Copies of this chain bind each other. A is one copy, B any other.
Amino acid sequence: MTGQREDQEYYVSKNRLETLVDGIFAFAMTLLVLGINPPRPQETLATTVLPDMIASLVPQVFLFIVSFLVLALFWLDHHRQFHFVHRVDTALLWINMLLLISIVFVPFSTDLAGDYPVITDAVLLFHANMFIVGLLFAVQWCHICRHDHLCEPALDEAIKHHGFRRSLIVPAIAVIGGALSFINPPLSLMMYLVLPFSTGLLHRLPLP
C-alpha cells in the first residue's frame, strides 16, 4: 500500500508532463503572432495608407521572429534536459510549472517590446523575462544533476558540466541585453540572434 501511495505522491508521468509542456510551447509560439497588430484603415483610405502601414510593422515582425526562435531554443533545451530524465519528482514538476509560467509570459513581453522598441522599460521587461526563463533552466539542470536517481543511465560529469555551461548562455545574454537597453533598446533586442551560434560555439570549446 505504502509503495503505491508513495508512487502516486512523488512521481509524475514524464509522458503526460511532456505533452503539457509541448502543448504550452506550441500555443505560446503561436500566440506570438497576435502581438502583431494588423492595420485597420478605413476602406476608402486603404489603398494609399496600407503600404506604409504594412512597412511600419517591420519591427514587430522582426521581434516576432526573434521571440519564436528563442522559444524554439528553449523548447530544445527542455528536450535536451528531459532526454536524460527518467522519473519526474515533485521538485522537478514545480520547476517545470514555474518555467511554463515564464514561457507563457513571453507573448506578452514580446507584444509590449514590439510596440515600443525604443523605450527602455518595455525592452527591459523583455530581457527580464528571458533572464528568468534562462535561470529556471539552469536551476532545472542543477536539480537533475544533483538527483542522479531521476536519470537513466546516470549522467557522467562531462555532460553535467557541458549542460551547466550551456544553461548560463541565455541568462548572460539577457544581462548584457538589459544593460544595453539603457543605451540602445532596439539593438539590445538583437543580442538574441547570437544564440543559435553560441551553442554551436560552446560545443566546439574544449571541455575543462
Contact = CB atoms under 8 A, between A and B. Distances in A.
Contact of A97 (B16, B69, B104): B69
B100 A159 contact: no
Contacts of A8: 80, 83-84, 159
Nearest to A72: B97
Interface stretch (A119-127, A135-143, A173-181, A186-194): A119-127
Nearest to A94: B196
Nearest to A40: B115
Given A1-B156, A156-B1, A38 B112 contact: yes
Interface in A69-121: 69, 72, 75-76, 79-80, 83-84, 93-94, 97, 100-101, 104-105, 107-108, 111-112, 115-116, 119, 121
A16 B81 CA distance: 13
Given A4-B156, A19-B22, A158-B5, A29 B100 contact: yes
Interface residues of A, number: 68
A54 interface: yes
22 contacts: A1-B156, A1-B159, A4-B156, A8-B84, A8-B159, A12-B76, A13-B83, A19-B22, A23-B23, A24-B26, A26-B27, A29-B104, A30-B31, A33-B108, A39-B112, A43-B116, A46-B119, A50-B119, A50-B121, A64-B105, A69-B97, A94-B196
